[in-house]
Structure 1
Amino acid sequence: MNGSTFESLAIAAFRRLWIAGHLYFLAIFAQMIARGALAKDLEGSNAALGAVTLAFGLTGLIATPLGGVAADRFAKRSMLLVSTGLLLISSLWIALAVQLEFISFWMLVIASAIQSAGFSCLSPARMAFTAELVGPDRLANGVVLTQISMNVNRVAGPVLAGVFLSVPVLGIGGIYWASSAIIAVGGLLFLKLPPGLPRSNATHSSATRDLLDGVRYGYTQWPLPLLLATSTLALVFGFPYVVFLPSVSEDLFGAGDTGFAWLSTIGAVGGLGASLFIAGRSEGSVAWKIQNLSVIGFGLGVAATGLAPTFATAMVVMLLLGAATAAFQSMNATLILGGSEAAYHGRMQSLLQLGFNLFGIAALPIGICADKFGLRETLVAMGVVVTLVGAASIIVRNANINLDGVQRQSPE
């Protein structure tokens, strides 16, 4: 990286926003580990893991588009504070329930839904605030810094959770207490931001019309339909593997919560390494090659997780799977932004985020299949489907290129 990588941090307001966002990313990724471990401890089934993720996904499916509209119609600082409050409530509630030993599974489901609502509103407000604070000339830099923060915390969050899980006196409850404190500090930083008032004409247009226009644009302007469909299908059928990592660790290898944390951590390390490697390699045909290879690698990695004979083998697979997943997600988002008009970037990001919500919904039926047919068999089937999605995406794009070439060569 060169010196200009961090130029946006010279802006004091953006620096506060970035640090606060860095803190909530740390808390969220640590809680992902704790939530999976707690659901497994309380219910002991893959369906339970899927149910918690289902609550997150269903809530986000509704809250994400509403959060995007709210970010354009209300003061952004207020949106950030309200969202942070929701995240803090969901975290403190579980921390108290674990500490006082009255925790129940239904509490975890509701807390997951509250966290999803907070995250769905916070993300679009934070991205809109980033654009406002850094300006158009530094917008790309601000977005890159946000992605770096997220990838760093995909490592740091599981590591923090792993440390707490390995110390009995801290455990799952300690993760939620620490996350609550981290979120509270982030909220104090948000208080020092400027109001981020909406444009004077923000409430004059129809939010429903803008939303529908974005959907129409995303699914009619080539190659956006292919990119969005590939992302959605790959996430729905492949990404639930992260929900089942507690079962992979405990049921397949007897490694328990600590093994779960290490699987998550090594996957995050692979993701961070891939993100750093592909930085600056997102132009033209190279970007498409990386996406095509990574989505195939994503599918093969999920299948290989189901076939891994030992925990050590699973760790190696998880490193490569984490790299492929991060490369696919990063390059898919880059291609979508590069292939769309600036006026539609926010709505295209919303469509991408909805793919994550749909994966949460799919986790429950896939979890039921894992309980009925076996976790290994389900992971292999998931990986095969994602691999076929990747292969279909490559075939469709090549066919479109060939068709376009024929049309260009045809006489008038």
Structure 2
Amino acid sequence: MSAMFQALENRNYRLWAGGALVSNIGTWMQRIAQDWLVLTVLTDNSGTAVGITTGLQFLPMLLLGPYAGVLADRYRKRVILLWAQSAMGLIGLLVGILVLTGTAQLWQAYLAALCLGVAGAIDGPARQAFVSELVGQKHVANAVALNSASFNTARLTGPAIAGLLIAWIGTGPVFLLNAASFAAVILSLWRIRTSELAPSEPAVRGKGQVTEGLRYVRRRPDLVLILVMVGILGAFGMNFPIINALMSTAEFGMGPGEFGLLGSVMAVGTLAGALLAARRTGPRLRFLLGGALGLGIFTLIASVSPSFWLYAAVLVPVGLAAITFLNSCNTSIQLSVNPQFRGRVLALYLAVLQGGTALGAPLMGWIGTEFGARWSVAAGGAVVLLTGLISVIVVSRRSRLTFPQQVRTVFVRRRSRNRPVQGPEAAGEAEGM
């Protein structure tokens, strides 16, 4: 099998990837339906309301993420996933019923987004760490990249399907279809052969485990850099569902079909970036920093695009840059963190990413409503670009190498292809950033 798809040789991973793809398509359909419902049915094109909805969906990860990471390190990840996925499917079902019966109100949309956020906060760390149990350390980098490819395949098709369905039959059935899609991932989890998993040693119960995880991160300058960049980029550079909703309606006067199309067009770039990442054996500093810089530059270009179709075209490199950055961050964590801390560190990573989005979404929505959608896009792009430039300077000053030498060096080196960097080795290598 091609090196790009090595992880698919594993039966358990094939089952998981197939179920996750179906569920992710449904999730992206619901995201488009949720934004459209709030923007055009429950409010009069209020970007602020869409931003609040998005913020409520991501805020629980910021508040609960570290504790969910402790759960992922302490208990069986497969069981956690079964409960969390079932809860998210039930929420989609209830919202669909409310919309179809004509009883949906804005506060209910807010509450549903918050409940989805709570379930997602529990699901996220376990889902990310479960990849290592499915394929083992040897194929983690490839599996992480293929997960991104699957996610972005869903992102490519889900918004387009949702846009067509909303225009044809309305938002209610889209929520119901998403609820049904969770059956695929739940079935795949039941069919996984637990005897073939490679679970890490569970963390011992005790007090201060969240604090212990934070201390572990604080001793790792490479992880601190990742988390700072992820938080800022999450807040200002990853709010395109809100921005695209405002740009397609307020700026270009388009309907739900074109709004859904923007998500699909952006997913072309993210899918390409994920497939390119699948060919790499590990994360490199040049991809992490280059992804951040590229995201800032192309977002600024998008803010001045004069037409809907030019704006849509620029979203392709925007998506490629975003997924290049996020893949490099995720793979760095998966490969370099001690397995007993992996759930907590991944939880912190997701908390910072989604928590940043939760904090930034209302602000970006407010800017778009008060000053225009283009100002919201431009502000996000400027902050992301500045963050990337400052990170380049910080890395250059901390490293014993020249910057051209750094960008040819693996961001988190491994002494062995089959053994993650841990403890003093990781700290020593991080000092050479």
Q: TM-score range by the shorter chain?
A: 0.7 to 0.9
SS at match of 1:102: coil
1:324 corresponds in structure 2 to: 321
2:268 corresponds in structure 1 to: 269
1:254 corresponds in structure 2 to: 253
Letter in 2 for 1:238: G
Confirm or deny: 8 A CA contact 1:271 1:322 kept in the other structure.
yes
- Of 307, 310, 315, which aligns to 1:313? 310
Structure 2 residues without counterparts, runs of 5 or longer: 404-433
2:358 corresponds in structure 1 to: 360
CA distance in 1, matches of 2:401, 2:269: 37
Give the deviation of 1:373 after TM superposition: 2.5
Confirm or deny: 8 A CA contact 2:73 2:344 kept in the other structure.
no
CA distance in 2, matches of 1:113, 1:321: 28
Confirm or deny: 8 A CA contact 2:232 2:356 kept in the other structure.
no
The 5 Å alignment of 1:12-411 reads: 12-41=11-40, 42-43=42-43, 44-166=45-167, 168=168, 170-193=169-192, 202=202, 204-206=204-206, 209-281=208-280, 287-338=284-335, 340-354=337-351, 355-402=353-400
RMSD, matched Cα:
2.8
Confirm or deny: 8 A CA contact 1:92 1:176 kept in the other structure.
yes
299-308 or 33-42, larger mean C-alpha shift: 299-308
313-322 or 135-144, larger mean C-alpha shift: 135-144
SS at match of 1:223: helix
CA distance in 2, matches of 1:16, 1:344: 26
Confirm or deny: 8 A CA contact 1:56 1:357 kept in the other structure.
no
CA distance in 2, matches of 1:158, 1:273: 17
Letter in 1 for 2:326: Q
Confirm or deny: 8 A CA contact 1:77 1:194 kept in the other structure.
no
Structure 1 residues without counterparts, runs of 5 or longer: 406-412
TM-score by structure 1 length? 0.87
Confirm or deny: 8 A CA contact 2:133 2:199 kept in the other structure.
no
Confirm or deny: 8 A CA contact 1:16 1:193 kept in the other structure.
yes
182-191 or 352-361, larger mean C-alpha shift: 182-191
Q: Evaluate the alpha carbon distance shift between residue 141 and residue 238 of structure 1 in structure 2; reply closer, same or farther with a 3 A threshold.
A: closer
CA distance in 2, matches of 1:279, 1:10: 14
Cα shift readout 1:185-241 (whole Å, capped 9, x = no counterpart): 3323333446799989847432x5332222223233222222221121111122123
Cα shift readout 1:98-146 (whole Å, capped 9, x = no counterpart): 1111111111111111222222222333344443343444444443432
Aligned residues: 399
Identity %, equivalent residues: 26
Confirm or deny: 8 A CA contact 2:69 2:347 kept in the other structure.
yes
Confirm or deny: 8 A CA contact 2:289 2:388 kept in the other structure.
yes
Letter in 1 for 2:175: Y
Q: Evaluate the alpha carbon distance shift between residue 353 and residue 103 of structure 1 in structure 2; reply closer, same or farther with a 3 A threshold.
A: same
Give the deviation of 1:9 after TM superposition: 4.1
CA distance in 2, matches of 1:242, 1:224: 28
